[in-house]
Amino acid sequence: MTDQRQSDRRDEVIDESLRRVYEEAVEEGIPDRFKSLLEQLKQQDSDQGRNK
């Protein structure tokens, strides 16, 4: 195998691995704890907007 072919194959393996990790992360979704924290932050922003 030539150096270029080895490099191309290595790049393909890296690409496939990154795609797989990304897809797994997307499928996990957002934990309830983070959703709760985001809601609290939205509420704080809303409250601060009313107080101005």
Here the tokens at position 14 are 């890296």
Region for residue 29 given its phi and psi (left: phi exceeds 0; alpha: psi -120 to 50; beta: otherwise):
left
Rounded Cα–Cα distance for residues 15 and 23 (Å): 12
Burial class (CB within 10 angstroms; exposed 0-12, middle 13-18, buried 19+) of 25:
exposed
What is the reported pLDDT for 35? 93
What is the total count of domains within the chain? Answer: 1
Quick one: which H or E segment has residue 23? helix 3-28
Tell me the per-residue pLDDT of 1-33, one tens digit each, with 9 for 90 and over. Answer: 689 999 999 999 999 999 999 999 989 988 899
What is the reported pLDDT for 30? 87
What is the reported pLDDT for 2? 85
What is the reported pLDDT for 48? 86
What is the reported pLDDT for 1? 62
> Is 52's pLDDT higher than 80?
no
**Boundaries of domain holding 31:** 3-51
